[in-house]
Structure 1
Amino acid sequence: MSRDAIVLLGVNHKTTPLAVREKLALSSGYEAPLQALAELQELREFYLLSTCNRVEVLFTCRNVAQATKRVQEVLFGQAITAEELQQHVYHYVNLQAVEHLFLVAASLDSMIVGEAQILGQLKEAYRHATDADSTGFILNKLLHKSFSVAKRVRTETRIGASAVSISYAAVELARKIFGDLHDKKVMLVGAGEMAELAAEHLVGQGVSEVVVANRTLQRAVNLARCYKGRAVSLEELLEQLQQVDIIISSTGAPELILRREDVRPVMRGRRNRPLFFIDIAVPRDLDPAINELDNVYLYDIDDLNNVVEMNKSERDKEAVKAQRIVDEEKIKFSKWLANMESTPTIIQLRKTIEQQVRGEVEKSLGRLDDMDASSRKKLEKMIAGITGKLAYPPLHFLKTENHCIALPERIKTIRELYQMDNGENEQE
């Protein structure tokens, strides 16, 4: 009589390097992988999330080990080796899976803690799942609860208010210089993790275009695709400076990639429209003398660290509040699951007792259908009253928290006492 298990498998920016995540990204969209999962008989319900920073599948099943193996084969097995699967794919079951989903929705598991974009991505993935008719009673309840958790965190905390990453601090400085970023074009020089972080923030601020320049063009293409941007080679850097407004540089180059004498003619071509450089590379990518040019603003990683340090303590306080909200909502959901697990037994218990009471009454008084309406009504009321009194002790035993006896054991005890799984009483 145990309920289906809730399982979550995935990879994200914490467990898996970009080079591996690129192989697992669902570049063709949701339709094909959802169809592939639908063919797995081991799954009851399932939901799939794919972003630039994570691929996660949430599902319910009876046999956790068997279902997990099949899902990994279908989603990840063709892209990476068994060793990489073992190393990078995380695996949560039941309340651990619930907690992880809530943390993701609340952006506490994001590359940028507090960012708002992930909730929209969760909801978009849910729309695809409902279109594919892949979610049911349990996952619908769980996913809607994750949306409300995110809303509580956003409403009751200031988790997204303070810049606590170098990349976010860079974006905050850009806003101070330009104000609204909606009509601004951004170029990311380098396609590593720092560039990913910067892109997350900039897209969240609504920049009009993201250009990615990288020594390896394919890496630039992969990152640009995530943000509906375009990729260019590093050799096109000077040409692109004519068109963009903000440049965030984070390459691993051993020496400067842009000097003052490179930028001066660019500013003439731009007719001195402001150009904002952010150098978050170590060692530095950009010549400090660039800052001496008119209408050119250059900040390096030390400038940004000052912004970050001021905000860290405030964000930490808000993260504690957000985690408390996640914990509260996890407890509420666990109670809902427990109630759902015991509901079939409760219904069957009432039915069993009522049948026994009704049988004894009819033995003594004959069939109730043969009585007049008034007498039958009185007897029905008596049967309901006796049933309620007899059912109260076992129901109280089932519903009351008991730290010594787990709910599955309490359910098993009641079913054995009332012989619910014998003969004609047996139910699935």
Structure 2
Amino acid sequence: MNLWMVGVDFAHAPLALREPVCFTRGQVQALLPRIAAARGVAACVLLATCNRTELYIHGAEHTEMDVLAVLAQAADFDADIYRAVSVGRSGNAAVHHLMSVAAGMESQIFGDDQIVSQVREAAALAREAGTMDAVLDTLFRRAVTAGKRVRTETRLTGVPASAAAAGVRRAETFFGTLREKKAIVIGNGEMGRLAAAALHARGAAVTVTLRTYRHGETVVPSGCAAWPYDRRYEVMDGADLVVSATASPHFTVTASAVAAMHRPPALLVDLALPRDIEQTAALCGPTVWNLDDLGDLGEHNTAERAAAAQIIKEEQAEWNEWHAYRQSLPVIAQIKDAALDRLRYDHAYNSLHEDADLDGLAALAVHKTVDLLLGGMKDIVIPERLEACLAHMKRGSGK
């Protein structure tokens, strides 16, 4: 299959090791052409989220691939540091893993509803960078389909659907109630808006910090107040809870700033990677949580997991069928040629050929017939079986 992947995720690597390989959108765009330039790489997609960084490579024929080394060289980090905390997969194992990821089955928060969009975005970036081919394109489209089906055909009841929801739910447990609690949300991206909306829905008084505000353009969740980001520490002093979810390369909440507050917040929730909140802020009084502290709060119905697994199995079978047929195309072309050769040895054909030029029509008929026959048997068409069929035809023609 010549398909490989390597991943560094929350299940195998601590947050401190995930941070250096947590790439922004711009970094992914820069890395893809470098990865694609590596020897033996036919196509590549780089999936980078808060909880995982995974590189998928479709390689040239008869190639062995050290995917971690390829990524490390492109991103300029020491591959040896990550050998023990990364997981490599190939062939069907890589296909199954990607579909499980897209379905939220591999997320910290089971059924995470953001991951399918992240898988779709990773594929879109690869297309824009010109590092996508038919194999990876079809695989990622099928994985997105699997993710969508799991969300529409299973009921993930009682399960927080994102890290933002999980953080708010755990904060509610921490305080007993969020009603009338003063909550500050730093970051107005998707994660920040989800957190702000969830806090507001539970009765908290929510203020969202903004770097800039443009009337009619900046979206602040309904019921939430806005505050300038540069003055965030003013509004944090006296708050009960702070949630930070930005893409900033620097700390949005420092330990020294927290130490200078008259009444620092009781709880700081960091939903970013790289981390937004300096961990030593916990020494100043607040409880500090990061993504690894959220865990998985949902109770999973066994039937839901089984239904999701069945959907993944079906989508993987569809992709395998497509891939096997694609791999068979060169042999199918040879079968068509062999069928024409057999026809040309037929006495009836040769007698008709004396009166008319049948070669063009014969070729068309053979090609269409083979396509119709094999197209209806895609579930059993594999190169090995077609090779045996071709060998039989050639023996019959005397070749």
The reply to whether residue 135 of structure 1 matches residue 110 of structure 2 is no
Match of 2:15?
18
Identity %: 22
Please say which of residues 93-102 and 230-239 is displaced more in the overlay.
Answer: 230-239
The reply to whether residue 324 of structure 1 matches residue 310 of structure 2 is yes
Matches within 5 A, 1:174-213: 177-178=178-179, 184-186=183-185, 202=195, 205=198, 208-209=208-209
Match of 1:124?
121
Match of 1:170?
170
Contact 2:184–2:209 (CA under 8 A) maintained in structure 1: yes
Match of 1:155?
152
**Aligned-residue offset at 1:51:** 1.7
Contact 2:268–2:289 (CA under 8 A) maintained in structure 1: no
Aligned to 2:34, the other structure's residue is in SS state: helix
Contact 1:47–1:129 (CA under 8 A) maintained in structure 2: yes
Match of 1:232?
253
The reply to whether residue 353 of structure 1 matches residue 339 of structure 2 is yes
Root-mean-square deviation over aligned CA pairs: 4.9
Map Cα deviations across residues 95-127 of structure 1 (whole Å, 9 max, x no partner): 111111111111111122122222222222222
Structure 2 segments unaligned to the other structure (5+ residues): 200-205, 211-228, 234-243, 271-276
Contact 1:167–1:201 (CA under 8 A) maintained in structure 2: no
Match of 1:365?
352
1:365 partner letter: L
Contact 2:332–2:386 (CA under 8 A) maintained in structure 1: no
The reply to whether residue 413 of structure 1 matches residue 399 of structure 2 is no
Residue 251 to residue 231, structure 1, CA distance change in 2 (3 Å) = closer
**Aligned-residue offset at 1:161:** 4.0
Residue 233 to residue 73, structure 1, CA distance change in 2 (3 Å) = closer
1:202 partner letter: A
Contact 1:11–1:21 (CA under 8 A) maintained in structure 2: yes
Contact 1:12–1:55 (CA under 8 A) maintained in structure 2: yes
**Aligned-residue offset at 1:388:** 5.4
TM-score, normalised on structure 2?
Answer: 0.67
Residue 202 to residue 413, structure 1, CA distance change in 2 (3 Å) = same
**Aligned-residue offset at 1:153:** 0.8
Structure 1 segments unaligned to the other structure (5+ residues): 189-197, 214-222, 259-276, 282-300, 371-375
Among 21, 45, 48, the alignment partner of 1:47 is: 45
Residue 356 to residue 161, structure 1, CA distance change in 2 (3 Å) = same
CA distance in 2, matches of 1:412, 1:187: 61
Match of 1:270?
none
Contact 2:336–2:367 (CA under 8 A) maintained in structure 1: no
2:387 partner letter: K
**Aligned-residue offset at 1:40:** 2.0
2:38 partner letter: L
Question: How many residues were matched structurally?
Answer: 340
Aligned to 2:110, the other structure's residue is in SS state: coil
CA distance in 1, matches of 2:130, 2:354: 47
The reply to whether residue 145 of structure 1 matches residue 149 of structure 2 is no
Please say which of residues 198-207 and 143-152 is displaced more in the overlay.
Answer: 198-207
Give every structure 1 segment of 4 or more consecutive aligned residues whose post-TM-superposition deviation is greater than 6 Å: 198-201, 210-213, 241-246, 249-253, 277-281
Contact 1:48–1:57 (CA under 8 A) maintained in structure 2: yes
CA distance in 2, matches of 1:178, 1:138: 51
